[in-house]
């Protein structure tokens, strides 16, 4: 992966994390500015890692479904740029449907690359990309919920 692609993925991660965290860390929420920045940066790294794993996961699923050569699949600037655009245009809190539509478009581009790399049918490649994306989405959502549960202090009992 080139440095340019890594920067694109990190910027997409920042945008994704900001979209998820801005309502939580908005002024008046009681979260300090430095803690908000740390939360967004940590979220950006996690989101960028999930984005970076998407082609590798799709490649792995394709290998389980059928024969895949050893070339591998990774992000290229042409594949990563629409991902960054999707993350910028569709903060998750802006509209889940718009967010889903844009990620389907990015996934279709990734499916084209997987189809060309493996020689499998386009629909098979699209299914592998979708399974990988959903699996990564479920995994990161589970980690988010666990982090919230671990970092949320229980409310004090009311004094009677």
Q: Is residue 9 part of a domain?
A: no
Q: How many domains does the chain have?
A: 1
pTM for the model: 0.72
Is 119 a member of any domain? yes
Residue 137 lies in a domain: yes
Question: Quick check: is 1 in a domain?
Answer: no
159 assigned to some structural domain: no
Which domain does 68 fall in, by range?
Answer: 49-151
Q: Is residue 78 part of a domain?
A: yes
Confirm whether 92 is domain-assigned.
yes
User: Which tens digits make up the pLDDT trace of 57-105?
Assistant: 888 888 887 765 656 666 667 766 666 666 665 555 556 666 677 778 8
Task: Answer yes or no: is 129 within a domain.
Answer: yes
Q: Which tens digits make up the pLDDT trace of 110-140?
A: 888 888 888 888 898 889 889 988 898 888 8
Residues 6+ apart with CB under 8 A from 68: 59, 62, 117, 118, 120
Distance CA 160, CA 95 (A): 44
């Amino acid at each position: 992966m080139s440095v340019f692609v890594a920067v694109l993925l990190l910027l997409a991660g920042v945008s994704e994390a900001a979209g998820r965290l801005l309502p939580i860390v908005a002024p008046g929420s009681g979260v300090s500015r430095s803690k908000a920045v740390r939360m967004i940066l940590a979220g950006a790294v996690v989101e960028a890692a999930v984005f970076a794993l998407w082609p590798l996961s799709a490649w792995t699923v394709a290998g389980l479904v059928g024969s895949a050569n050893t070339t591998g699949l990774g992000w290229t600037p042409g594949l990563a740029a629409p991902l960054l655009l999707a993350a910028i245009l569709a903060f998750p809190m802006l509209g889940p449907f718009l967010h889903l539509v844009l990620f389907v478009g990015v996934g279709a581009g990734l499916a084209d690359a997987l189809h060309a790399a493996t020689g499998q049918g386009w629909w098979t490649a699209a299914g592998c990309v979708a399974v990988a994306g959903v699996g990564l989405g479920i995994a990161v959502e589970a980690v988010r919920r666990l982090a919230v549960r671990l970092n949320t202090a229980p409310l004090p009992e009311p004094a009677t």
